Chain A
Amino acid sequence: MSFFRSKKMKYYSLVIPRESAWVVMNELARLGQLHFVDYDPQLPMINRPFANYVKRCDDSLFKLSCLELLLKEFKKNLNYCENVEELLDYFSQVQYDRMKPGHTYFDELESEIEQKKIQIQEQSANLQNLLDRVNIITEQQLVLENAKEILGQSMFQQQTPHNPNDYQQLKFGQLIGVIEKEEEVRFKRIIFRVTKGNAWVQIKDLNNQQIDNSMRQSFHLNQNNTSSPRCLYVIVYPGAEESSSLKMKLLKVCDSFNRQRIEYPNSMDELQRKMMELNQQLLEVKNLIEMSKQQLEQSLDELVLQKQGCNCSYFEYMRLYVLKEKYLYVNLNYLTMRGSIFTGYFWLPEGLEIMVEEKLRNAMKNNRDHYPTGQIQEIKPQLTSPPTYFNLNEVTMPFQEIVNTYGIPRYQEVNPGLFTIITFPFLFGVMFADIAHGFMLFLCGLYIIFWKNYLLKQTDSMFNLMIPFRYLIVLMGFFAFYNGFIYNDYLSISLNLFGSCYSPEKEEWKRESKDCVYPFGVDPVWQASGSSLNFMNSYKMKLSVILGVIHMLFGILMKGVNTLYFKNYLDFFCEFIPQLLFMICTFGWMDFIIIVKWLNTYENNTDPSIIETMINQVLKPFDKPVNPVFPNEAEFQLQLTQILTLIAVICIPWMLLPKPLILGSKNDKHKVNMSDSQYQPLVLEKQVSEQDEDNNQQFHNDLQNAANLKSFSEQSNEQHDSGEIWVHQMIETIEFVLGGISNTASYLRLWALSLAHGQLAEVFYDMCLAGKLDIGGILGGLLGGYFYIVFALLTFGVLMTMDVMECFLHALRLHWVEFQNKFYKADGYLFNGYSYKKILNDNLKQSNSK
């Protein structure tokens, strides 16, 4: 039963010579069952022996992500890897064919990536330059055309003035060019100030973005336009002399706006010639673009291509290989380096030792230079407890996830995940109880189960997110369906499936025969009677308390199982037994009388009130009950309740006192023993320093020391303050005693939510369907159709989505708080196997979702 408790772990030390570190780690990662322990978590990553490699891998990944952007821009579709196992086999095949040490392959790939990146970026920069060049040329054309329009013919026809004082013959100069659109106003202002208003400025939008986009489109490029809108300006100012100070100043201003300024030709012919020239240039550049684009595409295609035997694009192949390499070095960094030996520690699930050794032998075989590949040796674990490891499958995964979200189980502790598989959907079902709604949920779950492969491909499907939880949904739906039958609730209507035991007779209900019992669930006659709600409430309320107490008792029993398993007899006798007794004597007893009351018939209004009985039992311990639960046996009941109350009261000090007292006396003894153990580490350090440098011996010495070091550090730091123990125990006791009451009350949410669910369903039914169906005729048909749609939408929106969420959350709470606080420590940490498969799979998902 691997799921009930986490797997047994063993602690090993691993010693590998430096030369074969890569090979060994490479092999072990294929196994995926080693949990490496960081030998010094405080040491910053940058100071570790392989920090440099990790950094290089990061750099390569960064370069690859640059390339990926380009690939996207040119709409190249990569083949993503789907089967990691195959890819890993391919990796090792490639390694094998290379006939060189394995770790050097990364160097090759790294330089290849670097080269590719430089090459492709250069090409794309080239392309971009050419595109910009086209922009500039088209801009020039536009500017010239527009300027021609604005300035007109007269600009060329100015003559040198005969009389410089005649302002009508004053000659004008002009400047044309391009500026950013947003600088338009500023530009105008500056020109105004510089010329003191003596210039005429005309500005016109260029629509350069549209032009740019349309051009990119003509080359089948992405239209990711980053250029800002621009506009052209034409300035006409008085004084055409080449060296007038005004002109110099204007030139400076225009140039300071950092965009191109264009010389306006002196005559019409020249203008024409210039236009022709530009056209010519444009054609040339466009040809160049076509060529460089082809080149670029070629180099990009190389990345997209699938290599023979590999199941994904070359780009993806490189990316995953670098990722794998990075992962290897990160884990290698968890090892200490002493001389030429790496020493590391890892956890391994019990029984896998042989496989690790086989992998090591394998590594030896695959190793070209036949270095020794290291050894493992089991050693005594350190202070840290082993990781928690479960072998999960697709069914158990979501339930374990529910538990893990609260806290990871402690190593070897009873795993609440196992019980959650049934109790969680069941408690959900109690709250969501409705035959129709439950069945719908059940169908929904089945749909996801059977069409899983189809849904996986629909990346935008809503069901896609639910795929991991499909078995959870099916079970939730099933139990809601089942509980719906018990409550006999079908969209707020009771079904008369087996024939009611009552039949209407003169506005009264008559029982068919005295022995008639409705075979399963609640008799539908209740719905027809006026007191249906009263009856159902009382029934559901009691049911939820009974379920709750059973659930909690079960939790307490699990605590007992835990204490026995860990041989913690102190907790068994001083916590588990009083807790169990307390719960049985109070709420267990309450459940018992509820059931007794159900089974008995009471005459003449002598039916006992459960609450009163419970309260009087404590407040009036010596008075006979007025309405005894056991008919005619008041005396017996009094004695029984006295005993039970006494036990419950005794349990409280029992929980509180013995444990801290015993622990305290133990501590005192411990302190005496402390003195000599402190000297031991010193002796050890001496041994280490005396170590001789001989290589062969060092190997074995290391092994020995590794084993020794850890066993010495086993000094437990159980030096709790006795005050702390007292406070802790007090809190525990108070929490349990008060929690007993409040937790039981908390289970009433089972009733409250199912009431809410039922009432909502009833309201929707009454408002939308009931009565509307009787109208008849075409109008009735239309109205019926309309209200049916409203009803369906409300049922889906409120009950099937919101109420499912609500019931889910409350079921979650009942598990996390009321059930798990009885026994669950939840202070473990997850087993994190060193596995290529895991890391690559994690990264596959990312690239697919992009």
Chain B
Amino acid sequence: MDLCVFGVDDGYAEAIIRGLRASFLSEAQYQQMKNCASIPELKSFLEETDYQNCLQADNPQIPTSILRQRLKKKLADEFEYIEAQSTGTLTKYLFHLRCRFMIDNVVNMIEGLKNKIDIEILLSNIDPLGWFPEIKNIKVLEGDDYSSLYRDVLIDTPIGVYFMKFLEESIENLHENRTLNDIQNLFREMKPEYIRTSLKKMWLEDFYSFCESELMATSQEVLLELLKFEADFKTIQVIYNSIGNRDLNTAAKIITTRKQLCPTIGNLYPDCEKLYLQAMTLDTLREAVKGCDNYRDLLKDAPDPLKREEFNVQTKTLDDIMYDDECRRYALAFDGQGSYGVFYAYLKLKEQEIRNIIWLAEMISRKLAKNHPGWKKIIIPFSHLGK
């Protein structure tokens, strides 16, 4: 049924995004990019692709960070255009998508301010996709007083809700007769990475319930599947990264932290929860997730987190493996008809493309030999479909 009426409101936006499918770099183009010998050459190559207009005004020796910023800006412009063309539920949905970037931006700002980095530099580095007007007011932050940051600035912003929940939760976890001092201590010790993970978890759960309650059946089918995977991805990441983490010394603390950070959705939750919360080695983690989907195969090649010190550029990390699988799923979702999954997939795949270009730019600027395994570490969107 919803396939018949999908086009009424969202047909135009979908059509635009289908048109943008042509802007993805092809495998042959990646091959040519790998052959570039220097950054100016890479830049002039990119000028022959869809990225032409966003790079033209720049100097040929473009630093990677600016290159990234330009590419992201282009993506953000496209996304904004689509957002402007959307109506009703789709607008809400697209806005939800942007929240993820806003969280990243806010946490980056907080982190930067804590490290006393100049606000102008921070502002120039924010992801244009997650820009919102209040972001520059984060400057008001004093010390570690997140609650007043929330009260003064973030309360009005789209991510205020998540921030409030986060504050509530972290205060609740303290013992009964807490003092102001305790709270301040808590915030002082809190790592920005922790804030990010918890905020993102809340966002994911919220987005999930949004998709579940407001979207039409086809969109739900596609998106819930993607989000479940993403949640599982997060869970596995949290567990994986906490294995052998020295900051979390006691077993009880590991489990509570994990419990706080792992999303309460996905294929793994709640069936495997008990198992994965207690997984202390890679093998037990593999065992814990074996019941679901192809997770076991994914984890098969992951390097052991206990030997983190031995990792280098060549190591195919867990993230790489997961991105690869993600990319396949998104490409499939993109080619599906009549669902909102296409917008989500577009964003994710374009992000992957930008990551690829930046990675290659790094490789080129470091002048690594062409037989270096790092050259192979790019995941080309839509390359999975042909096979």
Chain A residues in contact with chain B, CB under 8 A? Answer: 44-46, 55, 62, 183, 186, 189-190, 193-194, 249, 252-253, 255-258
Given the known inter-chain contacts A249-B140, A253-B140, A256-B136, please indicate yes or no for A193 contacting B48, CB distance below 8 A: no
What residues of B have a CB within 8 angstroms of the CB of A253 in the complex?
A: 137, 140, 152
Which residue in chain A gives the minimum CB-CB distance to B32? A44
A190 close to B153 (CB less than 8 A): yes
Known: A249-B142, A257-B137, A258-B136. 11 other contacts (CB 8 A): A46-B45, A189-B156, A190-B153, A194-B140, A249-B140, A252-B142, A253-B137, A253-B140, A256-B136, A256-B140, A257-B136
Task: Identify 10 residue pairs between A and B in the complex whose beta-carbon atoms are under 8 Å apart, listed by A's number.
Answer: A46-B44, A55-B44, A62-B56, A186-B156, A190-B137, A190-B152, A193-B152, A253-B152, A256-B137, A257-B136
Cβ of B160 to closest chain A Cβ, rounded Å: 12
Seen from chain B, the residues whose Cβ lies within 8 Å of a Cβ on chain A are 32, 44-45, 48, 56, 133-134, 136-140, 142, 151-153, 155-156
Q: Which residue of A lies closest to B141 (CB)?
A: A252
> Which residue among A45, A252, A256 has the maximum number of chain B CB atoms within 10 Å of its CB?
A256
Give the residues in chain B near A186, CB-CB below 8 Å: 133-134, 156
The answer to whether A193 and B155 have CB atoms under 8 Å apart is yes
**Closest Cβ–Cβ distance, residue B263 to chain A (whole Å):** 31
Residues A252 and B133 in contact in the complex (CB < 8 Å), given A189-B156, A190-B152, A193-B155: no
Question: CA of A258 to CA of B135 in the docked complex: distance in angstroms?
Answer: 12
Rounded to whole angstroms, the CA-CA distance of A609 and B45 in the bound complex is: 74
Contacts of B140 in A (CB 8 A): 194, 249, 252-253, 256
Partner of A193 from B136, B139, B142, B151 at Cβ < 8 Å: B151
Which residues of the partner chain B approach A45 to less than 8 Å between Cβ atoms?
48
C-alpha spacing A19/B142, complex, angstroms: 69
Chain A contacts for B153, CB-based, 8 A: 190
Q: Which residues of B contact A194 (CB under 8 A)?
A: 140, 152
* Residues of A contacting B151 in the complex (Cβ-Cβ under 8 angstroms): 193
User: What is the bound-complex CA distance between A288 and B133, given in angstroms?
Assistant: 36
Q: What chain B residues lie within 8 Å of A255 (beta carbons)?
A: 139
Once bound together, how far apart are the Cα atoms of A193 and B138, in whole Å?
A: 14
Taking a contact as CB atoms under 8 Å apart, the answer to whether A46 and B139 are in contact is no
Residue pairs across A and B with CB atoms within 8 Å: the count is 39
What's the nearest-Cβ distance from chain B to residue A197, in Å? 13
- B136 to chain A: which residues have CB within 8 Å? 256-258
Question: Residues of B contacting A249 with CB < 8 Å?
Answer: 140, 142
CB B150 to nearest CB in A, in angstroms, measures: 10
The residue of chain A having its C-beta at the shortest distance from the C-beta of B155 within the complex is: A193
Q: How far is the CA of A193 from the CA of B45 in the complex (A)?
A: 51
Contacts of B48 in A (CB 8 A): 44-46
Cα of A45 to Cα of B47 in the assembled complex, Å: 12
Q: How far is the CB of A801 from chain B (nearest CB, A)?
A: 33
Given known contacts A190-B152, A190-B153, A256 and B139 CB-to-CB distance under 8 angstroms = yes
Task: Kindly provide the distance from the CB of A689 to the nearest chain B CB, expressed in whole angstroms.
Answer: 26
- Which chain A residue lies CB-closest to B60? A59
Closest to A62 in B: B56
Question: A55: which B residues are within 8 A, CB to CB?
Answer: 44
- Please indicate the chain A residues that have their CB under 8 angstroms from the CB of B134 in the complex: 186
Query: How many angstroms from the CA of A249 to the CA of B142 in the assembled complex?
Result: 9
The chain A residue sitting closest to B120, CB to CB, is: A258
The 10 closest A-B pairs by CB, nearest first: A256-B139, A256-B137, A252-B140, A194-B152, A193-B152, A256-B136, A253-B140, A256-B140, A55-B44, A258-B136
User: For residue A66, which residue of chain B has the nearest CB?
Assistant: B57
Cα of A255 to Cα of B139 in the assembled complex, Å: 9
Question: How many angstroms from the CA of A252 to the CA of B143 in the assembled complex?
Answer: 13
Alpha-carbon distance A194/B139, docked complex (angstroms):
13
Cα(A46)–Cα(B37), bound, Å? 13
Provide the residues of chain B in CB contact with A46, threshold 8 Å: 32, 44-45, 48
A299 to B88, CA, bound (A): 54
Give min CB distance, A592 to chain B, whole Å: 56
What B residues does A62 contact at CB under 8 A? Answer: 56
**Chain B residue at minimum C-beta to C-beta distance from A180:** B133
Q: Kindly state the separation between the CA atoms of A666 and B266 in the bound complex, as whole angstroms.
A: 68
Chain B residues with CB under 8 A of A258: 136
Write the chain B residue with the least CB distance to A183. B133
Contact (Cβ within 8 A) A252 B156: no
What is the minimal beta-carbon distance from B272 to any residue of chain A, in angstroms?
44
A499, B48: Cα distance in complex, Å: 74
Closest A residue to B136 using CB positions: A256
CA distance A45 to B45 in the complex (A): 10
